[in-house]
Amino acid sequence: MPEAFFTVDGDSYVPGPMTQGPWGATMGGQIVGGLLGWGIEQSGVDPELQPARFTIDLLRPVLMKPVHIQTSIQREGRRIKLVDGALVQNGTVVARASALFLRRGDHPDGQVWSSATEMPPLPTSSDGFPADMPFLIWGYGATFEGSPGIAAGEWEQSHSQKFAWARMFRPMVHGYPLTPFTRLAFAGDITSSLTHWGTGGLRYINADYTVTASRLPDGEFIGLAAQSHYGTAGVATGAATLFDQHGPIGTSSALALAQPADAFKPTYA
């Protein structure tokens, strides 16, 4: 089994070196979200309930030190369950999450309009990535010519719609398999770089992200297709459509704040 991001030490989760993100000596947003998603899932959820929404607020930088997870049920009924989670470090809440679960049932007849979005084909090779990557991501522009890395040339040189395929294969916590819900919670953070990357590079750091899903993803790959970016006075919002190997499964969004031009130091290229 590949090396996990965290190991368990009593009631603490100890981060490994691959948890570090691209904004300095702190954990990446996708790691924080993935761990909170994992913690919420571990709290106990009926398998007939669909994880329909996951929102995380990235309140403070999360240092490369042990963290604790706290969860609480906010609402539980026959068709709905709402679970909150908090990531605590040195006695301070550094991130919080909310997950909404809805009961699956019969699907209505008829057709409902939705915008058509096409994704590039799934990657067929992992060539070009170092062996110790925390996860794999391929970036694409309008030509669908992808290349390995979050800072791929297609993103740096293109003012067109952006796409990404991400492969999450490492367990979030040692001894526990990576689940489809944790993959969703993890991948949502990619929305910020996908939608906020412009001709001047990535000039925004996200303060939150949300994923919604009509079903769980199938397989290790999750795709994202940028749909919008709106920004004013250093505040931006971006949205994307989420895919698995079979087609679209939901949406994602991220709110972000402007950062200095030299602040982003990608480690996933």
**Domain at 186, CATH number:** 2.40.160.210
Specify if 241 maps to a domain: yes
Q: And the tokens for 127?
A: 């060539």
Residue 41 CA to residue 48 CA, distance in Å, equals 13
Task: Report DSSP state, residue 215.
Answer: S
CB distance 189 to 28 below 8 Å: yes
- Whether 268 has a pLDDT exceeding 60, the answer reads no
- Whether 220 has a pLDDT exceeding 50, the answer reads yes
User: What pLDDT band is residue 34 in, cutting at 50, 70 and 90?
Assistant: very high
Domain count, the chain: 1
Specify if 139 maps to a domain: yes
Specify if 32 maps to a domain: yes
What does the pLDDT average to over 108-133? 88
Percentage with pLDDT > 90 across the chain: 72
Model confidence pLDDT, tens digit, residues 68-91: 999 999 999 999 999 999 999 999
Residue 69, domain extent? 6-103+126-258
Instruction: Provide the greatest CA pair distance for the chain.
Output: 52
Residue 101 CA to residue 210 CA, distance in Å, equals 14
Specify if 179 maps to a domain: yes
Specify if 110 maps to a domain: no
Specify if 1 maps to a domain: no
The total of other beta-carbon atoms located within 10 Å of residue 262's CB is: 7
pLDDT at 269: 47
pLDDT at 102: 97
Specify if 199 maps to a domain: yes
Q: How far is CA 152 from CA 34, 56, 126, 168, in A?
A: 23, 26, 14, 18
Which residue from 62, 119, 63, 99 is spatially nearest to 182, judged by alpha carbons?
Answer: 99
Sign of the torsion formed by the C-alpha atoms of 106, 98, 66 and 23 = positive
The total of other beta-carbon atoms located within 10 Å of residue 180's CB is: 20
User: What pLDDT band is residue 267 in, cutting at 50, 70 and 90?
Assistant: low
What does the pLDDT average to over 197-223? 93
Task: Report DSSP state, residue 246.
Answer: T
CB distance 150 to 266 below 8 Å: yes
- Whether 211 has a pLDDT exceeding 60, the answer reads yes
Specify if 212 maps to a domain: yes
Task: Report DSSP state, residue 23.
Answer: T
Q: How far is CA 61 from CA 23, 32, 131, in A?
A: 9, 10, 27
Model confidence pLDDT, tens digit, residues 86-112: 999 999 999 999 999 999 999 999 999
Residue 80 CA to residue 100 CA, distance in Å, equals 7
Residue 149 CA to residue 138 CA, distance in Å, equals 5
**pTM of the shown model:** 0.92
What does the pLDDT average to over 26-34? 93
pLDDT at 127: 80
Model confidence pLDDT, tens digit, residues 132-187: 888 999 988 877 777 777 655 666 666 788 999 999 999 999 999 999 999 999 99
- Higher-scoring residue by pLDDT: 153, 201: 201
Percentage with pLDDT > 70 across the chain: 94
- CA angle 77/78/84 to nearest 5° reads 40
User: What pLDDT band is residue 238 in, cutting at 50, 70 and 90?
Assistant: very high
Beta-strand relationship, 201-202 and 197-198? antiparallel
